[in-house]
Amino acid sequence: MQKTIARLCLLLTVVLAACTTPPAGPPPLVPAASLPPAWQHQGRHDYEKQNPGLGFSDKYQSPAGVIDVYSYDLQQPRWRAGVQDPAFDRHFQSTLDEVRYFVQRGVYTDLQQGKPRDVTLAGQVFRTVALRFSREGRPIESHTYLTAVDGRLLKYRLSFFLPAPFEPADHAREFVERSFAAARSQAAVPAR
């Protein structure tokens, strides 16, 4: 009888543990070890189910702003690495057109756009652009970094509230470089 009760207790413990443990999913796009202390992972949003090709995004937040990291393929089977794909320029331009759309709708005001340029961070070529605008009267400096890696597009959108406690352009570059390098090295480690 005692053995039966012990087995039931063990079974009940396993069942309760299963009920309270969240389902395992893919890790965030930015490894936690590479995050500066103030940035907290807020969760993942899956766009793929309702809009095939739009993939998913992870959101990171701090009192200084918001960072969104997107992974998607736009239903293109395999994007060429870096910025070399024939469709890359057109897609990068569409990300700028999206910002202009929000200006036309009055969501953003006072838009200032820097010149897009290609940079190499952690051995990967990204196209980047800096923007300044106001949203609901609050000035924001935003940096977009876009590349193709492992056949998919990877986009970082880093938006900082002004005045920022750091230089936004430097912080954006360092965040992308550090998190991309950490994610690549994590992907290179075989699962045990």
Does 20 map to a domain? no
| Enclosing H/E stretch for 56 | strand 56-62
Does 3 map to a domain? no
pLDDT at 13 over 60: no
**Can you give the pLDDT at residue 183?**
83
Among the listed residues 58, 53, 82, the one whose alpha carbon sits nearest the alpha carbon of residue 68? 58
Does 172 map to a domain? yes
pLDDT, mean over the chain: 83
Reported confidence tier of residue 32, pLDDT bands at 50, 70, 90? low
Domain span holding position 90: 26-188
Is 181 in a helix, a strand, or coil? Answer: helix
DSSP state of 27: P
Does 42 map to a domain? yes
The C-alpha torsion from 114 through 88 and 39 to 169, rounded to 10°, is: -20
**Can you give the pLDDT at residue 182?**
84
pLDDT at 68 over 70: yes
Does 2 map to a domain? no
Q: What would the mean pLDDT of 136-148 be, rounded to a whole number?
A: 96
- Asked if residues 42 and 59 have their Cβ atoms less than 8 Å apart, the reply is yes
Count the Cβ atoms, other than its own, within 10 Å of residue 130.
18
| CA gap 170, 52 in Å, rounded | 34
- Asked if residues 79 and 148 have their Cβ atoms less than 8 Å apart, the reply is yes
Among the listed residues 58, 96, 56, 90, the one whose alpha carbon sits nearest the alpha carbon of residue 73? 56
Q: Which residues pair with 40 in a beta bridge?
A: 61
Does 18 map to a domain? no
pLDDT at 20 over 70: no
Does 12 map to a domain? no
pLDDT digit string (tens) for 74-92? 999 899 999 999 999 999 9
Number of domains in the chain: 1
Q: What CATH number does residue 147 fall under?
A: 3.40.1000.10
In our burial notation (b when 16+ CB lie closer than 10 A, e otherwise), range 91-107 reads: bbeebeeebeeeeeeee
pLDDT at 120 over 60: yes
Does 11 map to a domain? no
| Enclosing H/E stretch for 94 | helix 88-104
Amino acid (one-letter) located at 184: R
Among the listed residues 53, 43, 39, the one whose alpha carbon sits nearest the alpha carbon of residue 159? 39
